[in-house]
Amino acid sequence: MFGKISRLASLFKIYGFHAFHLLFNPVLGRPIWVPLNGRRVWLNFDSATYYHLIHSTDKVKALVDAIPSNLQGVILDGGANHGLFSMLAAQKFPNVKIFALEPYHKVLPILKKNVAGTQVEIVEKAIAAKDGEVVFYTAPSSDQVGSVIKDNVAEFTAKGAAIVESRVPAISLKSFVKEQGIERIAVLKLDVQGLEFAILEHADQVLDITDCLLLEVVLIEKTSLELLEKARQFFPYHKILNPLPYGADIIFSKNKL
């Protein structure tokens, strides 16, 4: 009971009277929206929605705010999910091309609504270590938890519940950059639930042309130390954002932040 009251208070603190609209959504069972920076931001409604409404908005805003204003090149949003990062980046950098890569069919309609009317181009593929197809795992209780690593989804899945499996098209960073003719990447953001190091391990050519790298580094991940070492090889500067119990969001940069 106390947890529900606390959650309710947090919703009203962040969204004011609009929180009444949020409270009725469990009954309506349809996509939900909240006002943000003069736009409606849409989310599929599921068991994780209230958590993301309370915690994720400020977290993603901090990522976009940390990006230097003097950008050169494109922005790649790997693991775009509902598109909050891409939408906010499009507002901050209206003249910068943004690619939002997301393979999961259940969140793609929401992603499209969130970036409609912006310069964001949606690519319905997963960023992965190699081209082809990958098995994509999702938690049955939430569309917002997805990974090609089954164990990373299992921890968000209720005991006894079956993890959902599907096959999705995938592309490596190297292939995507070549396919799009990209010469410079201003920002590469990866939020791919533990696959970050596998993607970057053999992507030196891409990291060479990238100015800023945004990662969520979770220290209990098996490859977290290798991921940090890889990032520091190419980006001498970094800044910790959004500290977590076992890690943090980090922006890495070739230029002083």
Query: What pLDDT is recorded for position 2?
Result: 42
Q: What is the mean pLDDT of residues 173-192?
A: 97
Extract the tokens encoding 230. 């890889």
CB burial of residue 88 (10 Å; 0-12, 13-18, 19+): buried
Superfamily of domain 57-253: Vaccinia Virus protein VP39 (3.40.50.150)
Extract the tokens encoding 36. 């943000």
Question: What string of H, E and C letters represents the secondary structure of the chain?
Answer: CHHHHHHHHHHHHHHHHHHHHHHCHHHHCCCEEEEECCEEEEECCCCCHHHHHHHHHHHHHHHHHHCCCCCCCEEEEECCCCCHHHHHHHHHCCCCCEEEECCCCCCHHHHHHHHCCCCEEEECCEECCCCEEEEEEEECCEEEEEECCHHHHHCCCCCCCCCEEEEEEEECHHHHHHHHCCCCEEEEEECCCCCHHHHHCCCHHHHHCEEEEEEEEECCCCCHHHHHHHHHHHCCEEEEEEEECCEEEEEEECCCC
pLDDT score of 85 more than 80 = yes
Which pLDDT band, with edges at 50, 70 and 90, does 160 fall under? low
Q: What is the mean pLDDT of residues 36-41?
A: 84
Q: What is the mean pLDDT of residues 22-46?
A: 74
For residue 250, give the amino acid letter: I
Using alpha carbons, select from 238, 247, 182 the residue that is nearest to residue 210: 182
pLDDT score of 174 more than 90 = yes
Return the minimum-mean-pLDDT range out of 72-86, 134-148, 161-175, 196-210: 134-148
Neighbours of 87 (CB within 10 A): 28
pLDDT score of 22 more than 80 = no
Query: What pLDDT is recorded for position 33?
Result: 79
Pairing of strands 39-43, 132-139: unpaired
State the pTM of this model.
0.90
Higher pLDDT, 11 or 193: 193
Q: What percent of the chain has pLDDT over 70?
A: 86
pLDDT score of 4 more than 60 = no
Domain chopping of the chain, boundaries:
57-253
Average pLDDT, the chain: 87
Pairing of strands 142-147, 32-36: unpaired
Q: What is the mean pLDDT of residues 103-111?
A: 92
Whole-angstrom Cα distance, residue 18 to residue 11?
A: 9
pLDDT score of 155 more than 80 = no
Whole-angstrom Cα distance, residue 209 to residue 156?
A: 35
SS3 state of residue 149: coil
Q: What is the mean pLDDT of residues 214-241?
A: 93
Return the minimum-mean-pLDDT range out of 108-122, 179-193, 233-247: 233-247
pLDDT score of 92 more than 50 = yes
